[in-house]
Amino acid sequence: MKTKPMYMLAGVAALMASTAVAQDMAALEAAAKAEGMLTTIALPHDWCGYGALIEGFKTKYPEISVNELNPDAGSADELEAIRANKTNTGPQAPDVIDVGLSFGPAAKEEGLIQPYKVSTWDDIPESIKDADGYWYGDYYGVMSFMVNKDLVQDVPTDWSDLLKPELAASVALAGDPRASNQAILAVLAAGMAAGGQAGTESGTKGLEFFAEMNKAGNFVPVIGKAGTLAQGATPVVVMWDYNALAARDTLNGNPPVEVVVPKSGVLAGVYVQAISAYAPHPNAAKLWMEYIYSDEGQNLWLKGYCHPARFNAMAAAGKIPQELIDALPPAESYAAAYFPSLDEQSANKEAVTAGWDAVVGANVQ
């Protein structure tokens, strides 16, 4: 009997693999549709294009309703929601979470999340995913200043500018630094700009910086958003660039907004996805992961100004529309960005959450 050429065997193997994936996806879709619901938490529609992602998922799977919990929750709040609903299969129990990088390993260690590797797993860089599939990076951005140009004539270009007298009662964080990953990493960035190494030192120097800002009367203990910026309550908000750019688009020139990446302390932050170990709808959760890590889902994140986890692999494969790349800030804005390690983030987080009240003394809410 003749042996088939190797390329034919490879083709058959590829076809079998493709069929197996399709069968697995068909089974997953059926199981998810039977559950009929997906419960998310902490997904504001203007954060990273999540509004379009949620609508895209609902359009693709109309049999699955999406129950959205507390869009403004921080990463710590998301983990607490899992803890508080371990025995609850009702609508207050989240199926999936989107948290800061340092919260992923902590959730795994505590047994709050379960493993699942999406079909595009190999495209996710090794450095931002758990080897066993408990958590994996979804997108990243850099810390920036969102500025109301109607109220701030001299737009700050670096962290030290936030201490100037003309910014009295003007500067806010986009979260509570005792619970919000975005705010915790803003303190890290400020600490790095002040000369601190990422980790405990950045946390300490960052706290000192915000204490000085608070003493000068420049810090506003209000969680900054597009609305508070437009109203004049927080003319300058420190937040991820993708959130600031989305807010700029939403405000549509009223007031005019400038988004600035500071000259020093340029910090990149990665967020991660995970499925709750107690998810009431585990199959819908897995299907959601498949959707957001698909080409469609990744490009929707990019449309929301976030660099998705599969960006490099998709760019190499020609799967990213040029207009999405052109809409991003110049590449040089990201060239100097520092990606802190898990250990550095954890040490910084411990310093910031433990020391904010005593050192800064501003009750952000």
Which residues constitute the domain of residue 199? 141-263+334-360
Q: Which of 6-10, 209-213, 240-244 has the lowest mean pLDDT?
A: 6-10
What are the residues facing 172 on neighbouring strands?
A: 237
- Shared domain for 231 and 349, answered yes or no, is yes
Residue 346 has pLDDT above 80, yes or no: yes
Q: What is the mean pLDDT of residues 41-60?
A: 96
Q: What are phi and psi of 138, to 5 degrees?
A: -115, -40
Are the beta carbons of 214 and 360 closer than 8 angstroms?
yes
Q: In which residue are the tokens 């999540």 written? A: 50
- Shared domain for 174 and 44, answered yes or no, is no
Q: CATH number, domain at 208?
A: 3.40.190.10
Residue 45 has pLDDT above 50, yes or no: yes
Query: Nearest Cα to 78, choosing from 91, 96, 65?
Result: 96
Higher per-residue pLDDT: 95 or 102: 95
- Shared domain for 78 and 39, answered yes or no, is yes
Residue 2 has pLDDT above 60, yes or no: no
- Shared domain for 95 and 182, answered yes or no, is no
- Shared domain for 132 and 146, answered yes or no, is no
- Shared domain for 69 and 103, answered yes or no, is yes
Question: How many CB atoms lie under 10 A from the CB of residue 136?
Answer: 22
Residue 10 has pLDDT above 80, yes or no: no
Query: pTM for the full model?
Result: 0.81
Are the beta carbons of 264 and 202 closer than 8 angstroms?
no
- Shared domain for 130 and 145, answered yes or no, is no
Question: Which H helix or E strand runs over 326?
Answer: helix 322-326
- Shared domain for 252 and 300, answered yes or no, is no
- Shared domain for 98 and 192, answered yes or no, is no
Q: What is the pLDDT of residues 243-301, one digit of tens each?
A: 999 999 999 999 999 999 999 999 998 999 999 999 999 999 999 999 999 999 999 99
Rounded distance between C-alpha atoms, residue 151 and residue 270, angstroms: 31
Query: Nearest Cα to 221, choosing from 210, 206, 209, 205?
Result: 210
Q: Is residue 242 in a domain?
A: yes
The count of residues in the chain is 365
- Shared domain for 161 and 248, answered yes or no, is yes
- Shared domain for 198 and 308, answered yes or no, is no
Rounded distance between C-alpha atoms, residue 38 and residue 14, angstroms: 32
Rounded distance between C-alpha atoms, residue 305 and residue 325, angstroms: 9
